[in-house]
Amino acid sequence: MGEMLGLGLSHYPGFIYPDHDMAMRVKQTMKSDRVPVALKDPRNWPAPMQQEWGTDEGTTFAAKHRAAFVDGVRRLRQLLDGFNPDAVVIFGDDQYENFQEDLIPPFSVYIGNQFQTQPFVRGRGGGTPQPNVWGEDREATFTTPGHAQLAKHLTRRLLEDGFDMPYSYKFHHMHGLGHAFINTLLYLDYDRKGWTYPIVPFHVNAYGSSLVRNRGGSANLFDKALGEMEPDPPAPSPRRLFALGQAIARIVKDSPYRVALVGSSSWSHAFLTEKNRWMYPDVPSDRQRFEELRTGNYLAWRNLSLGELEQAGEHEILNWIPMVGAMHELEQKPVFCEFIESYLMNSSKCVAAFPPND
């Protein structure tokens, strides 16, 4: 009988780069004509955001933000090594990387025995590559084993269960894993102990109505035509993704596999939160999500509407919902659940672990 460990973490690109550069997003957003002039002055920001900005444009706060996250991912790695999975299934979004205008599936499984990725060749936000905090070469290649057998098994059984599962044997517009998957691995191996667990990358179209319009980021804030574009068709619903996670839990339980299931994303993103003029995330909504998660009120997540999530800039929470649906199915509760709050660093982060019941 299979077993499952649930994990949740962020794949925030800011942790790849030095602390003095962590507030880069907000500085970039301030250059948009769509941001009101008053909000370009830190004195008009919410008080906690001003404190984070401090006297050094967020560098001091960045070190604390990183330390809290790294503590969390070290704890996750310890639990992961203790669980010793046969495979790690990662749910992650695609930000106009592998999926573009020619095909956007609601979700999709990558079936492969090996993935090769060069995470540092592209700079943050598509800009010039900067040095990373590990001092690794710009051309460094990470080779990650894939669990093609489990990927096929999941795809087959999900199709039999009524989920019309897209899958692919090769990348389409990308060479290597997208940011959501490779950053998750970079952080779960923050201390570079090495990574040998085979993975199954499970793509979720989390950006939905903003995917092409935003070019997976904030292009709509700088390109007038994109800003005026009709929204794209929506993401899959929280209810559907929750049911998908429940089905995966049942499939794994009936299999011989020990599987770690990872929901990967930060929660509300500043650049997706229109009501805050894209300058800071919806921290109160995230706090509410955190209380629901911490107390095991998973059904509250299933019952969220896409509209609520998008208004809160919480599009990427869709990456966590299949994992949370699986935890609901297996009645697994968090042993560790930390909320790492920030107004300035584009998003708050959550780190959580849900081990199997004895």
Q: Rule CB under 5 A: which residues touch Fe ion? A: 93, 180
CB of 168 to Fe ion, least distance (A): 19
Query: Do residues 161 and 247 make contact, with C-beta atoms less than 8 angstroms apart?
Result: yes
| Cα pseudo-dihedral 189, 289, 215, 22, rounded to 10 | -50
CB of 25 to Fe ion, least distance (A): 13
- Choice between 180 and 345, CB closer to Fe ion: 180
Say how many residues make up the chain. 358
- Choice between 93 and 286, CB closer to Fe ion: 93
- Choice between 281 and 355, CB closer to Fe ion: 281
How far apart are the C-alpha atoms of 169 and 329, rounded to whole Å?
29
CB of 11 to Fe ion, least distance (A): 6
CB of 107 to Fe ion, least distance (A): 14
Q: What DSSP line would sit under 245-301, residue for residue?
A: HHHHHHHHHTSS-EEEEEEE--SSBGGG-GGGTTSS--HHHHHHHHHHHHTT-HHHH
Q: What are phi and psi of 119, to 5 degrees?
A: -70, -20
Strand 87-93 and strand 258-264: the pairing is: parallel
- Choice between 29 and 246, CB closer to Fe ion: 29
- Choice between 19 and 93, CB closer to Fe ion: 93
Q: What are phi and psi of 63, to 5 degrees?
A: -65, -40
CB of 104 to Fe ion, least distance (A): 15
